[in-house]
Amino acid sequence: MTAAVRSRRLAMPDPFRGMERKRREKLILIGVVILAVVYPLVFRALESAFPFVPWPGTSVLIICATFAILALGLNIVMGFAGLLDLGYVAFYAIGAYTTAFLASPHFGIHVSWWIVVVIAVAAAAGAGILLGAPTLKLRGDYLAIVTLGFGEIVRIVFRNLGDFTLALPAFLGGAVLIGPNANLTGGNVGINPIDPPTIPIPGPWGNEIVFSNQNATASFYLVAVLLAITFIVCTRLRDSKLGRAWMAIREDETAAAAMGINTVTTKLLAFSLGASFSGFAGAFTGAYQTAIFAESFNFAVSILVVVIIILGGIGSLRGVVIGAFAVQYVNQTLLRYLGENVINAPMHAFGEATGIALLRDFNLVNYNYLIFGIVLAIMMIRRPEGLFPVESARAELHGVGISSDTTSGTADELAVAEEFATEVTQADETQAGDPREDQR
């Protein structure tokens, strides 16, 4: 924890270096913006010019950007506040279903998406508070399980409410309160169609621009703007008083409380803000796909977002965005490309030759979670700070970046010191409400 403070303090008295960096960052930013604007327009041309390169389609980039929003949101919870949330998909589902309820023929309500998105974000944030308020006092791994359970509950409830009957038991009269067999959520079939976002600008494309999967280019620009908004909000949050409070809690909850931070409210804010971005992404996904199914909001989505954050660098905004694009690019484009062009055919031939049925219909795409699972474990062992880490995490996890004038110890000594610090934190946690406290 001290390493973080130290490295930051050291970086400051070097204004020239800071300037250089600012300029470099500006250039990168301009480059990214130009790329985002141009790529969907030239994608077809690129594809026909260089067909042997696995170019990601615009719709793949939309998925990448959606997951980047999700990852930025979860990064607030996991990266900034240090709370493991394994049911993050629940808020995504809540955002998507709120959109579906308010802008589809399902209930015959057709509110404009630009209003719906606000309601969806509020609904997700509310759900975050509802789940967080009673559970945030739990320790890390218990919280993980509670959120996992919550994610499952939300998915199953949305699925089951497609055919719902609420009746009093027979001995109370048996009156039917809801139903019989009311279709509240569309059940397994889901809700279809959902009104996509529109802007009433006439042009060659018609009377208005429709941001649905029928018009991937326009939708990509919309989601890129949403991602930019999310990124800016997250940057501002990170640098705000609240952001510093989150990081203080992450590093040492007891010390943060002693410094006058209200840990309960602060953690709750992290939870509900994180949830609200998930609702934001959900509102976009529902409207863009114009259809949603309960089963698509499963545990695997939560894990995918966790993979993105771990891979990109937990706490690092740029890292998680790059992570989202990388992971979804691999997931949606690269694996299919490699499968179809490189790996599947020889596997099939080998399967035919040896008679192994498994290899005969081998398809690399089916093994994506196998790859992600291995990546998770390897990352945790080899590079726990991620591919694009924040400096403090690298310093803390590897004992580098701490200058020799403050600490003259070897890496081993640092490791021992680190271990001691962890021990102390654990002891504090024990006192703060370890469920197993009473037998110690």
Q: Minimum CB separation from another protein for residue 99, in Å?
A: 23
Q: Does 430 bind another protein (CB under 8 A)?
A: no
Q: Minimum CB separation from another protein for residue 54, in Å?
A: 23
The per-type count for the chain, helices as H runs and strands as E runs, is: 18, 6
Residue 176 bridge partners (DSSP) = 167
Binds another protein (CB under 8 A): choice among 1, 39, 57, 152: 152
CB-CB neighbours of 312 under 10 Å: 28
CB 98 within 8 A of CB 116: yes
Q: Does 414 bind another protein (CB under 8 A)?
A: no
- For residues 3 and 182, what is the distance between their CA atoms, to the nearest angstrom? 57
Closest C-alpha among 130, 34, 355, 124 to residue 42: 34
Count residues near another protein (CB under 8 A). 47
Element holding 110 (H helix, E strand): strand 109-110
Tokens 């409210």 -> residue: 265
Q: Tell me the CB-side half-sphere exposure of residue 391, using CA atoms within 13 A.
A: 12
Of 59 and 368, the one with the shorter C-beta distance to another protein is 368
Of 191 and 306, the one with the shorter C-beta distance to another protein is 306
Q: CA of 70: how far to CAs of 38, 145, 314, in Å?
A: 24, 20, 14
Binds another protein (CB under 8 A): choice among 140, 180, 346, 409: 140
Q: Does 310 bind another protein (CB under 8 A)?
A: yes
**Angle (nearest 5°) at CA 386 between 308 and 263:** 80
Based on the number of CB atoms within 10 Å of its own CB, is 310 exposed (0-12), middle (13-18) or buried (19 or more)?
buried
Residues 51-90 that bind another protein (CB under 8 A): 84, 86
Q: Minimum CB separation from another protein for residue 431, in Å?
A: 15
Of 153 and 232, the one with the shorter C-beta distance to another protein is 153
Of 137 and 233, the one with the shorter C-beta distance to another protein is 137
Q: Does 374 bind another protein (CB under 8 A)?
A: yes
CB 428 within 8 A of CB 253: yes
Q: Minimum CB separation from another protein for residue 134, in Å?
A: 5
Residue 379's SS3 state is helix
- Options 19-27, 255-263, 276-284, 432-440: segment touching another protein (CB under 8 A): 432-440
Residue type, 128: G
CB-CB neighbours of 215 under 10 Å: 18
Binds another protein (CB under 8 A): choice among 149, 193, 351, 401: 149
Of 206 and 373, the one with the shorter C-beta distance to another protein is 373
Binds another protein (CB under 8 A): choice among 34, 370, 400, 411: 370
CB 376 within 8 A of CB 310: yes
H-type alpha helices, 103-167: 113-135, 140-160
- For residues 73 and 86, what is the distance between their CA atoms, to the nearest angstrom? 13
Q: Minimum CB separation from another protein for residue 100, in Å?
A: 20
CB-CB neighbours of 369 under 10 Å: 14
Q: Minimum CB separation from another protein for residue 376, in Å?
A: 3
CB-CB neighbours of 343 under 10 Å: 15
Q: Minimum CB separation from another protein for residue 58, in Å?
A: 29
Q: Minimum CB separation from another protein for residue 343, in Å?
A: 15
Q: Does 157 bind another protein (CB under 8 A)?
A: yes
Binds another protein (CB under 8 A): choice among 422, 424, 427, 431: 422
Q: Does 156 bind another protein (CB under 8 A)?
A: yes
Q: How far is CA 53 from the centre of its chain?
A: 28
Of 4 and 223, the one with the shorter C-beta distance to another protein is 4
Q: Does 15 bind another protein (CB under 8 A)?
A: no
Phi, psi of 53 (to 5 degrees): -95, 130
User: What string marks each residue from 275 to 304 as x (binds another protein by CB under 8 A) or -?
Assistant: ------------------------x---x-
- Options 1-9, 110-118, 145-153, 192-200: segment touching another protein (CB under 8 A): 145-153
Of 36 and 144, the one with the shorter C-beta distance to another protein is 144
Token pair of 72 as six digits: 């930025």
Tokens 């508070």 -> residue: 129
Q: Contact positions toward another protein, by CB under 8 A?
A: 84, 86, 134-135, 138, 140-142, 144-146, 148-150, 152-153, 156-157, 159-160, 299, 303, 306, 310, 358, 366-367, 369-370, 372-377, 380-381, 384, 415, 419, 422, 426, 433, 435-436, 438-439
